[in-house]
């Protein structure tokens, strides 16, 4: 395949977005796109370029006092009748237009066109963000080359519709088990119906008032939801067990231990098993580099409600935020699209921030 990322395409973030969208890269199938990106970066004299699996990293080494990361994942969710891209007026449609090849285009455009940024920059183009964490390019790099991730600040180019979404919420899943005692339905008074017992758990969920927490001016709105319920033995048996799966999205003022303690309080009296947990990330907007970034964007930040790789940087003590042109509400939808003006404005913002003082 001839590399579609030609110099003319690299010079224009809109054309670059489209070219990236039209290279198929569903998770675990990122070799072709990583090859194209790597080939482009290796030709750039002001960058040192490295590759691990299908993750490409390129960085400047100008001896600046601060180093920032710009990171974008190369993979997309599976296509849904939305590949390759199509144009309708000022909108580009297609899988990955919003999440997040328009963001990847920012990083690649800057990497190639900005030889003397005011901070040293590490650019990450990484694989497998949309699937389990063990495949995630940043997970693999953290294991194999942790020094690649060293930085003072990180920007994840996930879709935020051109504003700063800071930090991210934590996520926790748990199973609440309602006990019972099995019996034949013809003599049901000899048993205890676990499905009936689930009513009390559901009542607590229905009456639950989720918190709204403001940190560094960012609003985080929590959520506690039953996402699955499972019980029953047979058509003529009083069930002795009912399981309710709970998903808890919590503000980053709580760590996983505090989140678990809260769930144990809400479901006191029931057996509760945590099945999955990921810490959130505080906004970290007080760092000087973050302040300069906010000034370049010129709009108030809001709290990120989903979980993103921002949390991974926060766990390493690196303040990080999300900033990208796509609309987060369209990610993973069949009619996923991005506004061309958002691409142009966002690329200009990043350029303003990184251009030499
Ligand atoms: Zn994404």
Report pLDDT digits (tens) over 309-332.
998 898 888 999 999 999 988 878
Give the chain's count of helices (H) and strands (E).
Answer: 10, 19
Residue 331 has a pLDDT of 78
CA 200–ligand 1 middle distance (angstroms)? 38
CB 182: neighbour CB atoms within 10 A? 16
Please, which pLDDT band fits residue 198 given cuts at 50, 70 and 90? Answer: very high
CA 106–ligand 1 middle distance (angstroms)? 14
Residue 117 has a pLDDT of 97
Which residues are designated catalytic? 75, 129
CA 264–ligand 1 middle distance (angstroms)? 32
Residue 98 has a pLDDT of 96
| CB 107 within 8 Å of CB 125 | yes
β strands within 210-316, DSSP E: 212-215, 218-221, 223-231, 237-238, 241-250, 271-278, 302-303
With 80 as the cut, is the pLDDT of residue 357 above it? no
Cis peptide before 181 (omega within 30 of 0): no
CA 129–ligand 1 middle distance (angstroms)? 7
Residue 328 has a pLDDT of 86
Helical H runs in 155-234?
A: 194-207
Query: What are the sequence ranges of the domains in the chain?
Result: 7-168+281-354, 170-278
HSE-up of residue 352 (Cα within 13 Å, Cβ side): 13
> Which H or E run includes 91?
strand 91-93
If 0-12 CB within 10 Å is exposed, 13-18 middle and 19+ buried, where does residue 287 land?
middle
Please, which pLDDT band fits residue 177 given cuts at 50, 70 and 90? Answer: very high
Helical H runs in the chain?
A: 7-10, 13-21, 31-42, 102-113, 137-144, 194-207, 256-266, 288-297, 310-315, 340-354
CA 79–ligand 1 middle distance (angstroms)? 14
CA 23–ligand 1 middle distance (angstroms)? 16
CA 248–ligand 1 middle distance (angstroms)? 21
With 80 as the cut, is the pLDDT of residue 334 above it? yes
CA 156–ligand 1 middle distance (angstroms)? 9
CB 88: neighbour CB atoms within 10 A? 8
CA 303–ligand 1 middle distance (angstroms)? 16
CA 332–ligand 1 middle distance (angstroms)? 9
CATH topology of domain 170-278: Alpha-Beta Plaits (3.30.70)
| CB 72 within 8 Å of CB 138 | no
Of 72, 3, 80, 67, nearest in space to 35 by CA: 3
β pairing state of 153-156 and 67-73: parallel
Mean of per-residue pLDDT scores for the chain: 95
Give Cβ neighbours of residue 345 (< 8 Å, ≥ 6 apart): 162, 325
| CB 194 within 8 Å of CB 239 | yes
Give Cβ neighbours of residue 58 (< 8 Å, ≥ 6 apart): 41, 44, 47, 48, 49, 50, 111, 122, 123
Instruction: Give the CATH architecture of domain 7-168+281-354.
Output: 3-Layer(aba) Sandwich (3.40)
Cis peptide before 75 (omega within 30 of 0): no
Residues above pLDDT 90, as percent of the chain: 87
Residue 217 has a pLDDT of 85
d(CA 203, CA 44): 61
CB 143: neighbour CB atoms within 10 A? 10
CA 287–ligand 1 middle distance (angstroms)? 25
Express the helix, strand and coil content of the chain in percent, nearest 5 each.
35, 30, 40
Write the pLDDT tens digit of every residue in 6-64. Answer: 999 999 999 999 999 999 999 999 999 999 999 999 999 999 999 999 999 999 999 99
Average pLDDT over residues 285-289: 88
Sign of CA dihedral 303, 306, 310, 311: positive
Residue 183 has a pLDDT of 97
With 90 as the cut, is the pLDDT of residue 106 above it? yes
Please, which pLDDT band fits residue 211 given cuts at 50, 70 and 90? Answer: very high
Of 249, 231, 230, 248, nearest in space to 240 by CA: 231
With 90 as the cut, is the pLDDT of residue 77 above it? yes
CA 338–ligand 1 middle distance (angstroms)? 13
d(CA 56, CA 58): 7
Give the residue, 16 or 308, on which the prediction is more confident: 16
d(CA 351, CA 282): 26
Residues above pLDDT 70, as percent of the chain: 100
Residue 76 has a pLDDT of 96
With 90 as the cut, is the pLDDT of residue 287 above it? no
């Amino acid at each position: 395949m001839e590399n579609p990322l030609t110099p003319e395409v690299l010079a224009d973030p809109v054309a670059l977005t489209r070219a990236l969208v039209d290279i198929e890269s569903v998770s675990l199938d990122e070799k072709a796109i990583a090859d194209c990106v790597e080939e482009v970066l290796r030709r750039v004299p002001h960058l040192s370029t490295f590759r691990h699996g299908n993750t490409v990293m390129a960085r400047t080494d100008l001896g600046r006092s601060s180093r920032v990361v710009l990171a974008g994942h190369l993979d997309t969710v599976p296509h849904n009748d939305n590949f390759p891209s199509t144009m309708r007026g000022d909108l580009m449609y297609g899988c990955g237009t919003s999440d997040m090849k328009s963001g990847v285009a920012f990083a690649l455009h800057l990497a190639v066109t900005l030889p003397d940024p005011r901070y040293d920059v590490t650019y990450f183009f990484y694989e497998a963000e949309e699937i389990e964490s063990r495949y995630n390019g940043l997970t693999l790099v953290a294991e194999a080359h942790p020094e690649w991730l060293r930085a003072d600040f990180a920007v994840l180019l996930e879709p935020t519709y051109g504003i700063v979404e800071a930090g991210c919420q934590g996520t926790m899943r748990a199973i609440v088990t309602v006990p019972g005692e099995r019996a034949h339905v013809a003599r049901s008074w000899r048993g205890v119906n676990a499905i009936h017992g689930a009513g009390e758990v559901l009542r607590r969920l229905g009456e639950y008032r989720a918190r709204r927490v403001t940190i560094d001016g960012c609003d985080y709105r929590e959520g506690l939801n039953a996402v699955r319920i499972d019980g029953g033995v047979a058509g003529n048996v009083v069930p002795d067990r009912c399981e309710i799966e709970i998903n808890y999205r919590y503000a980053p003022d709580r760590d996983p231990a505090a989140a678990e303690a809260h769930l144990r309080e809400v479901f006191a009296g029931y057996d509760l098993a945590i099945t999955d947990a990921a810490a959130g990330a505080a906004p970290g907007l007080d760092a000087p580099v973050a302040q300069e970034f906010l000034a370049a964007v010129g709009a108030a930040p809001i709290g990120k409600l989903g979980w993103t790789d921002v949390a991974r940087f926060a766990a390493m003590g690196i303040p990080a935020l999300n900033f990208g042109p796509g609309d987060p509400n369209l990610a993973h939808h069949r009619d996923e699209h991005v506004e061309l003006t958002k691409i142009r404005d966002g690329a200009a913002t990043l350029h303003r921030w990184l251009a030499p003082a």
